[in-house]
Structure 1
Amino acid sequence: MTARKPPPEGRLALVLRSLRRRTLDEAVQDAEAGRGISMPTAAVSLPARQVLRRLLMALLVLALTTLIVWLDRAGYHDSADESMNLLDSAYYATVTLSTTGYGDITPVSASARLVNILVITPLRVLFLIILVGTTLEVLTERTRQQLRVHRWRSGMRDHTVVVGYGTKGRSAVQTLLGQGCSTSDVVVVDPQERAVQAANNDGLVGILGDASRSQILLRAEIQRAARVIVATQRDDTAVLVTLTARQLNKRATIVVAIREDENVPLLRQSGADVVVTSSSSAGRLLGMSMMSPRVGAVLEDLLTYGNGLDVVERPVTRAESGKSPRECADLVVAVVRGSRLLNFSDPEAATLQLTDRVVTIKHAKGGNGGS
């Protein structure tokens, strides 16, 4: 007699327990500390380049001081040797700029002392500013980053978390921005540093890490997000991310892109609200384009937001309430009533209600008015 397989709910529970590599309290502590959060910044040079530039400035000040002392070497007295060579000049410049001042080499002539007052002292101050400024910047960079992260976290509400910033994730973000979503309301999570850097360059906050781990998603404030887009490279990764996201946020709308149709039921069980099969969708578009290239062009136009025709969902206006969908200014293709989606030809959708929402096709702003 063969053993019965555990039900899907049992398998999901086992997967959930396996995901708990760390406790939820530890994950919250990591999120509050702002670890792994990369904030978008203006284009600046790398920290190593900044330190190198300041080091070169300090060496330039040192070289300039050495040259000034060597040119006026006759006005200095060396207690160890009456003559002043280039090495003695460099030594004097070093101990003077660093405020060490051993006193073995001293300016004795009036011109040398005047140069020390008017030239070398300002150079000493500049030298110290360069060194101290570099040290303070290194010490305060972490504090500034934590303040920025804390300010960002305190203002995040009803935002969108995008897991995966490849071709699919980037296209999804571009569509969101085209529909009026602000860059400050989008957070990208990706395990690759270059993808996070690309998100920062696009003005988005990036989280570096594996989104199937709860502490990574908590850094993205997923518990307060309104929408989650899962656009990972692998279907099994998408399942784990969806499970973790639904565990942390019960109310968010989760949209997942996968490759294979056979994984759709598993994603539904994992908590996904909408599952888009990229390979099947592309195949259907290819088939329709083969049979009718114009139909394929129209569908591609509808899928490309902001150009030609757009598909949008909007609430019914008071002027449209009680009328037929055909009387609307836009072309209505579906009616959303409660949790049900009604086709435009459905008898129940013959009269619009004020609480309905309609899915319409309209001309894109700035579009050419056609496909």
Structure 2
Amino acid sequence: MFHVKLPGYDAIARQAGEHLVTHRVELPRKVVERPIRQVVQRLLMALLVLVVTALIVYAEHDGYTDNSDNSVDLLDAFYYATVTLSTTGYGDITPVSDGARLTNILVITPLRVLFLIILVGTTLEVLTERTREEWRLNRWRSTVRDHTVVIGFGTKGRSAVQTVLATGLKKEQVVVVDPSAKAVDAATAEGFAGVVGDATRSDVLKRAEVHKARQIIVAPQRDDTAVLVTLTARQLNRGAKIVATAREEENAPLLKQSGADAVITSASAAGRLLGLSVLSPAAGMVMEDLIQQGSGLDLVERPVVKAEVGRGPREVDDLVVSVVRGHRVLGYDDPAIGTLQSADRLITIVRATPGTQVTPDIRPIPRA
């Protein structure tokens, strides 16, 4: 069974607990109060209306008559308020004076309507909310495409999301998939759409609209999970760019064979950065600067412009690090480059400009 809800939505269907995987789509929205708190508030409001009505009746008790003893005390006033507001109306206590009847018309009747609205308001709100959520979900499914799917919202997944956002990608174009409901709740609270479920299953990835995604970031906690997720994602989407992370370097070839376009080995990458910082703190600072997208220096992949065709990599105004030719990545000093061709792409180091967005032809290099 699939449960559906939208961003910022409180997870109210967690009866089974974290250990049972529930598949549902969550889209970001404003945080609402918890249902129990709403019910308590409405009950208190209803009780207040009841008390106010009873006091009004008791204040004019001389204008009422009781079939049993012809007098109305405080208990009778509360009894009359209860049966009147609930529209039961036994008729044993009735207003007989003109003032009491006028009070019933101008005061008691509006309070009765208010009392009923308070009692049925919770039910109506739930039905309205379900309809609204279903409409939003269908609308999201019909419009989302060329988006980024992030599988795993741990430390690596969060960092990857922040990096792609720094390039100008909108939060509406990011979908997070994670088996933990808490992780998805955190993602939707930040404005991302989320899917709770096991990403190794194709039905879960389909709910994230993976088949329409432009790029997929695979960042689960385990390498074997990353391999299965990559295989499933590549089967559903042959054209998407898939970047995966591995804890162990020996698992990187498996991820590439599974369909990943690029594999980042987190443990070895962090270790190399630590070793570089020990040997040269300044070089470590430069590498850290390059890793942080949107500040200082950035690594950018861009196409060769018309004026650069026929030139060498060192003759380009930007600082060229590598040349991408077909499926090969050639160093700037590789003799095989010769001169730049119109189909080549350049990997350059540029000064980051805060607030600028990356165009589709100019994209940042994936970070570790």
* TM-score of the pair, normalised by structure 2: 0.87
Matched, 1:110 2:98: yes
2:361 matched to which residue of 1? Answer: none
The C-alpha deviation readout for 1:145-201, integer Å capped at 9, x for no partner, is: 111111000011111110111111011000001001111111001111111111111
Shift of 1:85: 2.6
Match of 2:249 among 238, 247, 261: 261
Match of 1:168 among 156, 169, 173: 156
1:188 matched to which residue of 2? Answer: 176
> In the TM superposition, what are the counterparts of 1:124-139 in structure 2 within 5 Å?
124-139=112-127
2:328 matched to which residue of 1? Answer: 340
Residues 76, 84 of structure 1: 8 Å contact kept: yes
2:147 matched to which residue of 1? Answer: 159
In structure 2, how many angstroms separate the alpha carbons of the residues matched to 1:252 and 1:233? 22
| Alpha carbons of structure 1 residues 63 and 328: separation in structure 2 relative to 1, 3 Å | farther
Shift of 1:134: 2.2
Give the secondary-structure state (helix, strand or coil) at the position aligned to 1:36: strand
- Structure 2: unaligned runs, 5 residues or longer: 7-22, 356-368
> In the TM superposition, what are the counterparts of 1:1-371 in structure 2 within 5 Å?
36-366=24-354
Aligned-pair identity in percent equals: 63
RMSD, matched Cα: 2.0
Give the secondary-structure state (helix, strand or coil) at the position aligned to 2:172: helix
In structure 1, how many angstroms separate the alpha carbons of the residues matched to 2:25 and 2:263? 28
The C-alpha deviation readout for 1:66-107, integer Å capped at 9, x for no partner, is: 121122222211112333232221221121112221111111
* TM-score of the pair, normalised by structure 1: 0.86
The C-alpha deviation readout for 1:287-343, integer Å capped at 9, x for no partner, is: 110000111110010000111111111112222222222233321101111222111
Give the secondary-structure state (helix, strand or coil) at the position aligned to 2:272: helix
Shift of 1:32: 10
Residues 207, 219 of structure 1: 8 Å contact kept: yes
| Alpha carbons of structure 1 residues 320 and 86: separation in structure 2 relative to 1, 3 Å | farther
2:363 matched to which residue of 1? Answer: none
- Structure 1: unaligned runs, 5 residues or longer: 1-28
In structure 2, how many angstroms separate the alpha carbons of the residues matched to 1:302 and 1:286? 15
Give the secondary-structure state (helix, strand or coil) at the position aligned to 1:43: coil
Residues 25, 194 of structure 2: 8 Å contact kept: yes
In structure 1, how many angstroms separate the alpha carbons of the residues matched to 2:211 and 2:354? 36
Question: Which protein has the bigger helix share?
Answer: 1
In structure 2, how many angstroms separate the alpha carbons of the residues matched to 1:86 and 1:192? 55
The C-alpha deviation readout for 1:177-232, integer Å capped at 9, x for no partner, is: 10011111110011111111111111100111111111111110111112111111
Shift of 1:33: 11
Shift of 1:269: 2.1
1:19 matched to which residue of 2? Answer: none
Residues 30, 215 of structure 1: 8 Å contact kept: no
1:9 matched to which residue of 2? Answer: none
